[in-house]
């Protein structure tokens, strides 16, 4: 074998060995990539309830322990007529929370009627003058009785004589309240007009909850922004032909508002459409006898701070403060931070139950804060003609 052939074979052998090594390395890399992909896929199965990302934002934090002005919480249910003994909070503890937070008054909306109402008045109102207000309600179980509205007018008159200072209408009205025939009781049923008129005659407000968050009327699937909340509370979903649409319920409610211009209506939960402040604005512009309150909708208005502040500025005389949650210091401090500071990207109270997003402070000026916290509510309750 000549020298040239010898070196040729050596080169060819080295090349073959190199290709073999490269192929083995490629196989190892492919195997590693598959293993990495498998681990990544496994991580994708992290349950949403276990996902608690910690924000890396370095932004100012302003804790607000007491409201800048005395506050009236116009939407609460503490120690109401529906609570079992295990759910009750000692009234002295409620007062302690109020004093720590600068709460002047709490309005208990669900006081029912008759002796149920009397029990709430005796426990919460009489021992603590000026600290609690109680509303009465409609007894829908009697809806098929002859002259139902007349009976309810007498019931409301009795409640006001006992000490009730408003009427509360729950969201079952329009969604699930039915006659024995199975027919839904419509929100704008003319048979109910004497009830709304009587409240105007007495000078007491009607706090009305009609419909629910917009997402509750959509399919409960991966596109629903309140998916987790609806999984935890499946009975809160009103998606389906058995329920009226959100829009039809609100339209019926507007007809009632328009027919009873002498009655003040508190459209609860930011008019029941905080996701659409343009709609709420239109209602306030058209209906001067309507005001709104913000209970349990901090998450909705807090994620649109520029639009929300504009709304508060324009309708500062028509907005009432409310929480719709158990009174505790942390709840109120969170609300005060939202209304009084310009803090960025923090949790609404109860997050992330209503949706996985953050809220941003409105930094409202003192004049608006004082109206929202107290003055607007005092004006409404000052209409009482007793």
**Structural domains of the chain in order of their starting residue, each with its CATH number:** 71-381 (3.20.20.140)
Q: Which two tokens stand for residue 37?
A: 């992909």
What average pLDDT score do residues 98-117 get?
98
Q: What is the mean pLDDT of residues 18-28?
A: 50
Round to whole Å and give the CA distance between 249 and 214.
Answer: 12
Instruction: Inform me whether the pLDDT recorded for 18 exceeds 60.
Output: no
Q: CB under 8 Å to 35, separation ≥6 — which residues?
A: none
pLDDT at 3: 45
Of 269, 270, 354, the C-alpha closest to 307 is 270
pLDDT value, residue 45: 82
- Where helices occur in the chain by DSSP H, the ranges are 3-43, 91-101, 114-120, 148-162, 193-202, 227-232, 246-259, 268-271, 277-286, 298-302, 305-314, 329-340, 366-370, 376-381
**pLDDT at res. 32:** 59
Cβ atoms of 207 and 253 within 8 Å: the answer is no
- pLDDT, one tens digit per residue, over 345-359 is 999 999 999 999 999
- Could you read off the pLDDT of 137-180 as tens digits, one per residue? 999 999 999 999 999 999 999 999 999 999 999 999 999 999 99
Taking residue 248's Cβ as centre, other Cβ atoms within 10 Å add up to: 14
Instruction: Return the pLDDT at 38.
Output: 67
At residue 376 the predicted structure's pLDDT band, cuts being 50, 70 and 90, is very high
Are 187 and 210 in contact by the 8 Å Cβ rule? The answer is: yes
CB contact at 8 A, 136 and 108 = no
Please give the share of the chain, as a percent, with pLDDT higher than 90.
84
89-111 as b/e, with b when 16 or more CB fall inside 10 Å?
eebeebbebbeebbbbbbbbbbb
Mean pLDDT check: name the lowest of 51-55, 213-217, 303-307, 368-372.
51-55
Average pLDDT over residues 95-115: 98
- pLDDT band (50, 70, 90) for residue 103: very high
DSSP helix/strand/coil, 213: coil
Calculate the average pLDDT of the chain: 92
Tally the residues of the chain.
386
Tell me: the pLDDT tens digits for 268-322? 999 999 999 999 999 999 999 999 999 999 999 999 999 999 999 999 999 999 9
Lowest pLDDT segment from 46-55, 87-96, 370-379: 46-55
pLDDT in tens, 27-62: 555 555 667 766 666 667 888 888 889 999 999 999
- Phi/psi-derived region of residue 203, left when phi > 0, alpha when psi is between -120 and 50, beta in every other case: left
pLDDT, mean of residues 222-228:
95
Determine what percent of the chain is predicted with pLDDT higher than 70.
88
Q: What is the pLDDT of residue 6?
A: 41
3-state secondary structure 74-137: EEECCCCCCCCHHHCCCHHHHHHHHHHHCEEEEEECCCCCHHHHHHHHHHHHCCCCCCEEECEE
At residue 331's C-alpha, the angle toward residues 328 and 333, to 5°, is 105
Q: What is the mean pLDDT of residues 371-381?
A: 98
For residue 7, count other CB atoms closer than 10 A to its CB. 10
pLDDT at residue 99 is higher than 90: yes
């Amino acid at each position: 074998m000549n020298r040239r052939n010898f070196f040729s074979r050596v080169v060819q052998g080295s090349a073959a060995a190199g290709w073999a090594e490269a192929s083995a390395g490629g196989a190892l890399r492919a195997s590693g990539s598959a293993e990495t992909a498998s681990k990544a896929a496994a991580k994708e199965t992290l349950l949403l309830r276990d996902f608690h990302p910690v924000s890396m934002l370095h932004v100012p934090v302003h804790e607000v322990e007491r409201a800048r002005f005395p506050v009236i919480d116009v939407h609460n249910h503490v120690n109401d007529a529906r609570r079992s003994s295990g759910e009750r909070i000692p009234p002295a503890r409620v007062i302690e929370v109020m004093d720590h937070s600068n709460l002047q008054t709490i309005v208990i909306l669900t006081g029912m009627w008759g002796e149920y109402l009397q029990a709430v008045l005796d426990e919460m109102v009489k021992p603590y003058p000026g600290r609690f207000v109680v509303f009465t309600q409609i007894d829908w179980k009697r809806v098929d009785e002859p002259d139902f509205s007349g009976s309810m007018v007498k019931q409301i008159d009795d409640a006001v004589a006992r000490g009730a200072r408003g009427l509360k209408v729950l969201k079952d009205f329009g969604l699930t309240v039915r006659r024995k025939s199975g027919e839904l009781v419509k929100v704008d049923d003319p048979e109910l007009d004497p009830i709304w008129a009587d409240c105007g005659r007495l000078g007491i407000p009607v706090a009305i909850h009609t419909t629910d968050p917009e997402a509750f009327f959509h399919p409960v699937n991966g596109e629903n922004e309140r998916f987790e909340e609806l999984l935890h509370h499946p009975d809160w979903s009103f998606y389906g032909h058995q329920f009226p649409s959100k829009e039809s319920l609100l339209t019926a409610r507007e007809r009632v508002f328009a027919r009873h211009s002498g009655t003040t209506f508190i459209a609860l939960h930011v008019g029941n459409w905080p996701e659409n402040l343009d709609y709420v604005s239109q209602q306030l512009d058209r209906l001067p006898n309507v005001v709104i309150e913000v209970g349990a909708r901090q998450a909705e208005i807090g994620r649109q701070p520029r639009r929300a502040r504009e709304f508060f500025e324009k309708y500062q005389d028509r907005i009432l403060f409310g929480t719709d949650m158990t009174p505790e210091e942390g709840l109120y401090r969170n609300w005060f931070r939202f209304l009084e500071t310009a803090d960025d990207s923090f949790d609404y109270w109860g997050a992330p139950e209503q949706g996985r997003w953050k809220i941003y402070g409105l930094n409202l000026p003192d004049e608006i804060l004082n109206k929202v916290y107290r003055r607007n509510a005092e004006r409404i309750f000052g209409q009482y003609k007793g």
